[in-house]
Structure formats: structure tokens, C-alpha cells
Amino acid sequence: MSDRSFLQWPFFDEVHRDLADQVDAWATKELADLDHSNVDETCKFLVKALGDAGWLKLSAVDPTDQGSKIDVRSLCIMRETLARHDGLADFAFAMQGLGTGCISLFGSEAQKTEWLTKTRAGEALSAFALSEPASGSDVANMAMTAVRDGDDYVLNGEKTWISNGGIADVYCVFARTGEAPGAKGLSVFIVPADTPGLEIAERLEVVAPHPLARLAFKDCRIPASAMIGNPGEGFRIAMSVLDVFRSTVAAAALGFARRALDESLSRVSDRELFGAPMSDLQMVQGHIADMALDVDAAALLVYRAAWLKDQGAPRVSREAAMAKLYATDHAQDVIDKAVQLHGGDGVRKGHIVESLYREIRALRIYEGASDVQKVVIARQTLANSKGV
């Protein structure tokens, strides 16, 4: 059983401890032996299952309650727990939150009612369309355009590496509206998947199968009412959404790392080498110590960032960046040690440790690559030192 002592840390309220117990029990029952042979259909199944169980209510604000807020600690507990059980289940949950994050935080009441009612129930899949072929981390360099034409906007350009691309029912799409150069000239729009002019240009395959696609927009016409917020606010909206959800990426990495540690503890306790359990070997004990240290350090950073956001901090860019950088990079280290401790089994296709090894790598890239997180941390630390 995974270590759960962290739930007694002062970052959590009783509601979070209850959530951890309930979602772990649900995942143990519902996610065992999940069929991953058809990733698209499995993601659709998972979204419906998560919706039916009520877990997706945590992914976005309640459109019927104007005071509703996203609880980041709950998001992190959900992602950590789901990732520990099944990477695709974590993905399915996460995208319902990230995909509608713009609507949750900045959408009009009409936009929230139309879409969040569906995504929170698992009746519609959502996607966050920010990255482009030439502007992944460099969001301000975005080339896709949205030109005003009467009561409409006309979208032209491409998006790529879009999670849920090809199966989403709705996309939150960022485009250049030109109010000012660079980051100040971007806006964001709600684009239903069946909008004429939106095409799935390419499905993308990666080492850990997830639904990903390149999207093409060719004279894609949408009403001006599809804009979220005001013209030119797209960059601010994108950064605000990432400020909330970046900590949850770190939580997913933490879940992967916990599972790798759990599997390794079982391995070294049950397997004998040279007439004694592997766990008696000092070198093995050294690996276990490093893994346990990395897991706890990551958890402290993850739940500090989540707690700060839930306490009302306007921005937690530095703390979220630290959490994502440390948790994802060190989860990679933890899982690599788990592979080593499992020997040949660790690289056998279908083994849980081999699966974790493939799952973790993308987390060090998406929602801000590790190198970008270092830039965020350094800039914010320098600004803080000057009292800015």
C-alpha cells in the first residue's frame, strides 16, 4: 500500500483526506485491468465513468453557483491518485479541467452554463489548443490569426500537440487578434469540434499512447460571442489557467513516482539475491532512500503550491514552476531506479514499471518544459529580490 502519511500534513482539510480515500477505493475497483488497446474509446469511456462517479465536478467551477471555485488541492489529489493507478485515467480527468480552464476562470455565465454543465458530467470532452508548430513554449510568437468580420471572427492557422485532439467536443483556441504586438495581441475562443473549417490534420503517436492531434483552421468562422474575456486578454488567460493546472501536472508525476516506489519496495522485499532479500543489499537500500526522498520532496512542493493557490494567492507562478520542475524531473529519476531494480522485467513490454517509464517523459515537456520552468523560477526570484 502507498504511503499515505502525507495526508496528515497541514496543507489538507478533512475533505481532502476523505477525497483521497474515496477516489483510491473507486480507482482500485474501476481501473483494474483497464483495456488500453483503443486509446480513443478508452478515454471516452473514462470520461463518462469519471462523470458518472461525480469526480469531474472537481475539474471546473459549478455553473449554477457564482461563488464556486476550483480547489487545486482536490485536483492534485485526484491526479496523484489516478496516475498511481492508471496513466490514461489521469489524462482523461486532467483534460476535462485544463480544456475548460479558460471557461471556468474567465467565461461568461452563458459560456459556463453551456459547456461546464456537459464537461463536469462527462457528457462532452474538452481540449486546450495553445501550442503551434513554431510556438510551443514561446506563446507570444503565436501565428494563428482571428480576424473580425462583422459579428464573427474568422480563424486561420494550425495548432499541434493538442491533447484530446480528434475526440474532443469543444476546443479553447488561442489566436492572434492583433490588438498589440506579441503577447498583448492574443485572444481565446470557444470552438465546437463540428465547426466548419476546423479539421483534424494529423493524429500524433507518442511513446505513451494518448489522443493527440494537429488541428488545421481554414476560414473557420465563429461568432464574436465565442470569445472568452476581452480582445487581447488571451495571454493573461492562458498564464492564469496554467498557474492553476501546472501544479496538477506535478501531482500526476508524483503519482507515477509513488507507484514506482511501491512496486520497487515489493520487488526488493520478495526477490532474493545471493541468498538474501534484495533489500538487505546496501546499494539497493541507497536506491530506496533516494526514491523515498524524491517522492516526499516533490509532495511538499506540489501541495505547497496547491495550498497557496487555494488560500487566495493571486499568482503562484514560482511555486507551481518549482513543483512541476522538481516533481517531473525527479519522478523520472525514481522510475529509472525502479526499472533498474526490476532488471529485465523493468523493460518488459506490459510491465507496470515499463509503462511508467514511458508515461513520465512527456510530463517534463507539456504545460511548460523543464527548462522553461527554470526561467520562470529565476525571473520571479530575481524580481522578488528587488521587491517587485
What residues act catalytically?
367
Q: What CA–CA distance (Å, rounded) separates 34 from 30?
A: 8
If you search the block for the grid coordinates 507507484, which residue do you land on? 259
Q: Select from 35, 28, 13, 249 the least CA-distant residue to 128.
A: 249
Q: What CA–CA distance (Å, rounded) separates 118 from 124?
A: 5
Q: What CA–CA distance (Å, rounded) separates 127 from 173?
A: 9
Residue 87 CA to chain centroid, in angstroms? Answer: 11
Work out the number of other CB atoms within 10 angstroms of the CB of residue 37: 7
Residues with Cβ within 8 Å of 177's Cβ and at least 6 positions away in sequence, in order, are: 145, 146, 147, 148, 153, 185, 186, 187, 231, 232, 234
- The H or E element containing residue 127 is strand 126-129
Residue 248 CA to chain centroid, in angstroms? Answer: 6
Q: What CA–CA distance (Å, rounded) separates 226 from 5?
A: 45
Looking from the CA of 85 toward its CB, the CA atoms found within 13 Å total 24
Q: What CA–CA distance (Å, rounded) separates 370 from 360?
A: 13
CB 247 within 8 A of CB 320: yes
Q: Label the pairing between strands 126-129 and 186-192.
A: unpaired
> How does DSSP assign 155-168, residue by residue?
EEEEEEEEETTTT-
User: CA angle, corner 29, sides to 25 and 30, nearest 5?
Assistant: 115
Torsional class of 322: left (φ above 0), alpha (ψ -120 to 50), beta (otherwise): alpha
If you search the block for the grid coordinates 513520465, which residue do you land on? 360
Look up residue 31 and give its amino acid. L
